[in-house]
């Protein structure tokens, strides 16, 4: 059968079939016209490749087990073991993604709190919290403000999470 028929029967693109053939996963003979000719076994192999890709196996992993699949020595127990190992990989990736998600949520919380502080500050006329005028602050300390007194900022730059 030609490449277009094989692709249609399995539900993949002709481009995918060509790609798998170029990697040596599928074997086709050439007609005198140069067209690829696939036998019925290619349908079964392409379905195996497609199913394996849908399960998240790499083409390198598929290439490693395809000879056993072709020769009929790949058992259900072998496949179950590979699928269980793949599940473990997916679970580990999920754990990593959940940690990343929590990190992203924490960043959002930090930015929202920061924006709320800025909004509160703007509502108070540009000051973080109402403060006594400088002269009143110095008087409370027993001093009077003079021309030599410098206004020193005690605010430090805030760091993110």
- pLDDT tens digit sequence for 48-71: 999 999 999 999 999 999 999 999
* Residue 120 confidence (pLDDT): 85
According to DSSP, residue 151 is labeled P
- Residue 122, pLDDT score: 82
d(CA 113, CA 107): 10
Domain topology for 3-74:
Multidrug-efflux Transporter Regulator; Chain: A; Domain 2 (1.10.1660)
- With a cut of 70, list the residues of the chain below it in pLDDT: 126-161
Q: For position 90, what pLDDT does the model report? A: 97
Of 45, 1, 44, 8, nearest to 23 by C-alpha is 45
The residues spanned by each domain of the chain are: 3-74, 75-142
pLDDT in tens, 106-124: 999 999 999 998 888 888 7
Give the model's pLDDT for residue 134.
Answer: 55
Please give the pLDDT value at position 97. 97
What is the pTM assigned to this prediction?
A: 0.65
Alpha helices in 2-150, H assignment, sequence order: 3-10, 14-22, 41-54, 59-71, 76-123, 134-140
Q: Which long-range contacts (CB under 8 A, 24 or more apart) does 18-25 make?
A: 20/46, 20/49, 20/59, 23/59, 23/63, 24/63, 25/49, 25/59, 25/62, 25/63, 25/66
């Amino acid at each position: 059968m030609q490449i277009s028929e094989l692709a249609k029967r399995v539900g993949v693109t002709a481009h995918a079939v060509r790609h798998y053939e170029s990697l040596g996963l599928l074997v086709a003979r050439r007609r005198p016209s140069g067209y690829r000719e696939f036998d019925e076994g290619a349908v079964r192999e392409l379905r195996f490749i497609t199913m394996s890709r849908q399960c998240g196996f790499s083409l390198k992993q598929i290439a490693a087990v395809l000879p056993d699949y072709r020769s009929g020595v790949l058992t259900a127990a072998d496949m179950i073991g590979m699928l269980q190992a793949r599940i473990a990989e997916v679970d580990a990736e999920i754990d990593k993604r959940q940690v990343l998600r929590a990190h992203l949520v924490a960043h959002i919380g930090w930015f929202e709190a920061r924006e709320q502080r800025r909004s509160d500050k703007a509502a108070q006329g540009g000051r973080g919290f109402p403060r006594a005028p400088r002269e009143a602050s110095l008087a409370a300390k027993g001093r009077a403000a003079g021309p030599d007194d410098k206004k020193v900022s005690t605010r430090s730059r805030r760091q993110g999470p």
